[in-house]
């Protein structure tokens, strides 16, 4: 799941941004920015993973049963994380998203479902099963803590050699 989350995060970079960065070192985002992006995507990710995984997990699986509730519970954290996530999008994709602009409102509405859809699309039955078990164990955590755990996994994943497609790396101060 974590490598799928890392792959989905790579969508923040548009093709032009990716090609411009190819000759340059990958930009760093802070752990706090990484956590904000993760928190921002979580509500959409719950529903998209449930949709994708329901056929392999079945109707009684934890993810299938609880996705809508989790999405609703995590939405307040996603809304709070958006200003920082917007900054990451602006920096990585070189998109001018002024706070409060129509472009900002559109991006806020569209980016999380797009990222979540890409992540879910890449999941196979085994990833669905692991995600279901993992969420069942971690769900008692408050949303902010869950976002921190998932972001830390993404941070570790972004440092692995197999994650070369990520347009960023997570760097400590």
**Digit-coded pLDDT (tens) for 31-72:** 999 999 999 999 999 999 999 999 999 999 999 999 999 999
Average pLDDT over residues 76-103: 83
Q: CA 144 to CA 35: how far, in whole Å?
A: 9
For residue 102, CA distances in Å to 44, 92, 166 come to 21, 20, 28
DSSP 26: P
Which pTM value belongs to this model? 0.78
**Which of 63-72, 108-117, 121-130 shows the lowest mean pLDDT across its residues?**
108-117
What's the maximum distance between 2 C-alpha atoms anywhere in the chain? 48
Q: Where are the domains of the chain?
A: 2-8+39-158
Output 168 or 84, whichever has higher pLDDT. Answer: 84
Contacts of 136 (CB under 8 A, 6+ apart): 62, 63
* pLDDT value of residue 163: 53
């Amino acid at each position: 799941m974590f490598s799928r989350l890392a792959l989905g995060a790579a969508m923040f970079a548009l093709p032009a941004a990716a090609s411009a960065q190819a000759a340059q070192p990958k930009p760093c985002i802070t752990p706090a920015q990484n956590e904000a992006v993760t928190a921002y995507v979580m509500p959409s990710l719950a529903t998209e993973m449930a949709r994708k995984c329901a056929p392999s997990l079945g109707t009684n699986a934890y993810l299938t049963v609880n996705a809508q509730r989790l999405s609703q519970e995590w939405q307040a954290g996603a809304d709070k994380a958006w200003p920082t996530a917007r900054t990451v999008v602006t920096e990585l994709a070189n998109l001018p998203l002024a706070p409060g602009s129509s472009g900002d409102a559109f991006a806020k509405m569209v980016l999380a479902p797009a990222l979540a859809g890409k992540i879910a699309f890449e999941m196979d039955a085994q990833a669905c099963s692991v995600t279901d078990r993992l969420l069942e164990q971690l769900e008692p955590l408050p949303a902010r803590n869950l976002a921190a755990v998932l972001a830390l996994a993404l941070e570790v994943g972004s440092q692995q050699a197999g994650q070369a497609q990520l347009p960023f790396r997570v760097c400590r101060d």
